[in-house]
Amino acid sequence: MYSRGIYPAQLGGREVFVADLVRGLAARGRDVFLLTERDPGLGAPTVRTLEARTVELPGIGFVLFAIRAFRAVLTVRDGVGWIHAHSPRANVSLAGFLASFFGKRLVITAHCRGVDYAFSSSAYDRAARVVAVSASIAADLVDVGVSPDRIEVIPCVPRFPPAPETKESARQALGLSITDFVVLYLGRMDPHKGIHLLVAALSRWPPGRPLQALLVGEGPAKARLEGSAVPREVEVTWAGRIPHEDIGTYYRAADVFVLPSLAEGSPLSVLEALHYGTPILSCDAPGIRDFVEDRVNALLVPRSIEGIQNGLLELYEDPGLRTSLVRPATERVDFDRVLDLHLRLYGGSAAGGPQ
């Protein structure tokens, strides 16, 4: 069995998952070629990375990437059985062309809601299997004409790095007091992630309630928001990008993880919070209810400044509610299970051995 993933150089949730997926496939004895713009340094000797470097110029960058990707696949075409593309749409269209030209079987994973089927219809029509990372995305695929018989729902779950055993040890590592009320945001600082809603809620935080906010990540919204004024009771730490292996320390240290996103496909940060046992406050955005249930393993609030602020206040004042939202991790946040589903998708057993 051979797999090929295309994804951009900047690591986000999708890219973290693909990196872990190819490592996992290789560890199960599969031969894996990873086609990408830039070698992400996977540290897996049995994974061969095919680089297709390009430039960031509209209308030119992707064309250059496509030409170099074609040349890269040409060099290994006899060793490839499957091409597995991960959305966005340009990756899907290119993978469809490569699979058709070289006569390979095609799998597409749709990571985002609002599938642009018209742009990539030939690739979706050609694909042997289409993976949706949530039930909502699967419904979107059916709505645009993909046969339900070809759709598999497999969540985008990577391996989770180890974390400190206790909140006390996690806070000691970060220099935080055990008595602080700690709010965590961890993700890209993009407008669609709703980070501006969280910052606005912090700026309106009522007096007499000390709060420590850890805002972790980079992105275009950070420069505009970083200087936002907050009350003296609120201490904000803009932590920037952190090593992936450190995320467990931040989740374990937090009293609440906040996801103010306006829409989600497969929200990796929610799966991380579930895994590390961090109470979740999330906007009730499309895609979220595929993974959590209100007041069972998350507190869902309206997508507004007031919704986030009211949710934070409720969790601040009710430790019992925070405790009740922590549930044991289920099968959907288990990487080995996700890896087994991919192996069966490609037509091989989950036990191992080259296909």
Sorted by where each begins, the domain ranges of the chain are 2-157+334-345, 167-330
pLDDT higher than threshold 50 for residue 3 = no
CATH number 2.60.40.10 is the correct assignment for the domain at 2-157+334-345: no
Q: Tell me the fold of 167-330.
A: Rossmann fold (3.40.50)
User: With 0-12 CB in 10 A as exposed, 13-18 as middle and 19+ as buried, what is 268?
Assistant: buried
How many other CB atoms sit within 10 Å of the CB of residue 162?
A: 8
- In the chain, the amino acid numbered 223 is A
Q: What pLDDT score was predicted for residue 144? A: 87
Compute the distance between CA of residue 276 and CA of residue 248 in angstroms, rounded to an integer: 7
For residue 250, what are its two tokens? 């931040």
Q: What pLDDT score was predicted for residue 131? A: 94
Tens digit of each residue's pLDDT (9 = 90 or more) over 163-192: 999 999 999 999 999 999 999 999 999 888
Once rounded to an integer, what is the mean pLDDT over residues 67-90? 88
Compute the distance between CA of residue 340 and CA of residue 96 in angstroms, rounded to an integer: 24
User: How sure is the predictor about 62, in pLDDT bands with cuts at 50, 70 and 90?
Assistant: confident
Q: Is pLDDT larger for residue 40 or for residue 14? A: 14
φ and ψ at residue 240, rounded to 5 degrees: 70, -160
Which percentage of the chain shows pLDDT scores above 70?
86
Contact 33, 60 (CB under 8 A): no
Q: Which run of H or E residues covers position 14?
A: helix 13-27
User: With 0-12 CB in 10 A as exposed, 13-18 as middle and 19+ as buried, what is 2?
Assistant: buried
Least confident of 22-26, 43-47, 59-63: 43-47
pLDDT higher than threshold 70 for residue 128 = yes
Q: Is pLDDT larger for residue 49 or for residue 130? A: 130
Least confident of 246-255, 262-271, 304-313: 262-271
Contacts of 188 (CB under 8 A, 6+ apart): 12, 217, 218, 219
pLDDT higher than threshold 80 for residue 265 = no
Once rounded to an integer, what is the mean pLDDT over residues 205-233? 93
Tens digit of each residue's pLDDT (9 = 90 or more) over 292-341: 999 999 999 999 999 999 999 999 999 999 999 997 655 456 889 999 99
Would you say the CATH fold of 167-330 matches that of 2-157+334-345?
yes
